[in-house]
């Protein structure tokens, strides 16, 4: 069906965007490490940004756990999703970590 192809296309576009942000994040970190000579302020900014991204991953895992374990137990709702689709969505959500870390790095770099 058209819907399935659209869904796959959206997942692929989302994957490409997150992969680009992964590379942008790596380039930005390397550039700033050379610029700041890896001083204490930069290391603290990286640490805080990493903390924000880890909090995001924890939030995603708790959310997925509540969705796929909590709903069926609490309300008796049966969610049917293929393992392949679940893996693709979870992978894309976890890849967002690079995007969040990039924006957190930029934020803490300006604030500190």
Residue 24 confidence class, pLDDT cut points 50, 70, 90: very high
Mean pLDDT of 54-66: 91
What average pLDDT does range 44-61 have in this prediction?
Answer: 95
Structure tokens at 61: 């895992």
Cα R_g (the chain), whole angstroms: 18
Higher-pLDDT residue of 76, 59 = 59
Q: How confident is the model at residue 16 (pLDDT cuts 50, 70, 90)?
A: very high
The pLDDT, as a whole number, for residue 4 is: 64
The answer to whether 100 touches 53, Cβ cutoff 8 Å, is: yes
Please give the angle made by the CA atoms of 83, 87 and 93, to the nearest 5 degrees: 145
Number of residues in the chain? 112
**Where is average pLDDT lowest: 12-16, 24-28, 30-34?**
12-16
What is the structure's pLDDT at 52? 97
């Amino acid at each position: 069906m058209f819907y399935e192809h659209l869904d796959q296309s959206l997942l692929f576009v989302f994957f490409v965007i997150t992969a680009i942000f992964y590379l942008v994040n790596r380039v930005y970190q390397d550039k700033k490490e050379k610029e700041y000579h890896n001083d204490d302020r930069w290391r603290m900014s990286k640490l805080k940004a990493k903390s924000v991204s880890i909090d995001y991953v924890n939030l995603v895992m708790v959310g997925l756990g509540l969705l796929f374990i909590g709903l069926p137990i609490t309300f008796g709702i049966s969610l049917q999703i293929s393992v392949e689709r679940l893996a693709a969505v979870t992978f894309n959500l976890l890849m967002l970590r690079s995007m969040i870390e990039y924006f957190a790095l930029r934020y803490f770099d300006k604030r500190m």
